[in-house]
Amino acid sequence: MTRAPSPTVRRRRLAAELRRFREAAELTIDEVADRLECSASKVSRIETGHVGVTPRDVRDMAELYGIVDDRRDALVQLAREARQKGWWHAYNEVFTGAFVGLEADAASLHAFQALLVPGLLQTAAYSRAVLRAVRPDSPPAELDRRVEARMTRQKLLVDPHPPEYWAVIDEAVLHRLTGGRDVMYEQLRKLVDIAQLPHVTLQVLPFEIGAHAGMESPFLIMGFPDPDPDVVYVENATSGVYLENSADVRKHSLLFDHLRAAALRPDDSVGLVQRIAERLAVIPE
């Protein structure tokens, strides 16, 4: 049994189906736009899943593409489901774009982080320390809201049908005293505990390997069962970029394979986290 597809993933699936039916009808985007009396950019954004599509739009497209009866009704129903709101819409001032909706429905999540603990593994205190550092002008109420949203995201890993989660983190993440000794100790203990879950794998990329495949930027590969294509989310200083091209996904999958091959084995990684936590637990004289 698996989790029900999120509205975000339903929208991507609908977009792919509409694109496939248009191509089968041998129509260009411009021709569709002309016949439906709308802009070509609207059709293009519908087919890439960047905007929602109404059931009425789907009916019009289905008629133009010669889709009738059950297949048309299935597409219209998919459009209705894609317009439903996920839990993250309650935090629309925090979450932008499709990230959380995609994450919520992924069958696998492969994350690499060189600077901080991945969001799904953070404690509330560590998360607050990170957010306070990167958003120094944010009022306390906004930080509270962002921490609450991040903690809500983490329910994904204790879902009855969780994704397979594999994180590779740079050793530097473990040594940076984010929030101070007590906060960092609590964070390291959480990493040790969560690594015991059967669907979670944690690896540490040690200092001694030198240069490595992930030095350009952190990234997350979100894997989906067929027919939905995988997505790579590449982070930058202010936002992130979604990569859905198969070549980009293959490139980052290869990068992740190199990273986990260079990292310490999972048991050794957890052992390293434990040793660093134990050193933090010793009160300095």
- pTM equals 0.77
Would you state the pLDDT for residue 199? 97
Q: From 1.10.10, 2.60.40, 3.10.450, 3.30.870, which CATH number describes the 97-281 domain?
A: 3.30.870
Q: What pLDDT is attached to residue 178?
A: 96
In the prediction, which pLDDT does 1 show? 37
The pLDDT averaged over each successive group of 10 residues in the chain (285 residues) is 60 81 89 88 82 84 86 82 66 68 89 95 96 92 92 92 96 96 97 97 96 90 85 75 88 96 97 96 67
CATH hierarchy code of domain 7-84 = 1.10.260.40
Q: Where in the chain is the domain with CATH 1.10.260.40?
A: 7-84
The pLDDT assigned to 273 comes to: 98
| DSSP letter string, the chain | --PPPPHHHHHHHHHHHHHHHHHHTT--HHHHHHHHTS-HHHHHHHHTTSS---HHHHHHHHHHHT--HHHHHHHHHHHHHHTSPPGGGGGTTT--TTHHHHHHH-SEEEEEESSS--GGG--HHHHHHHHHHH-TT--HHHHHHHHHHHHHHGGGGGSSSPPEEEEEEEHHHHHS-TT-HHHHHHHHHHHHHHTTSTTEEEEEE-GGG-S-TTSS--EEEEE--TTSPPEEEEE-SS-EEEE-SHHHHHHHHHHHHHHHHHSPPHHHHHHHHHHHHHHHHSPP-
Residues of the chain with CATH 3.30.870: 97-281
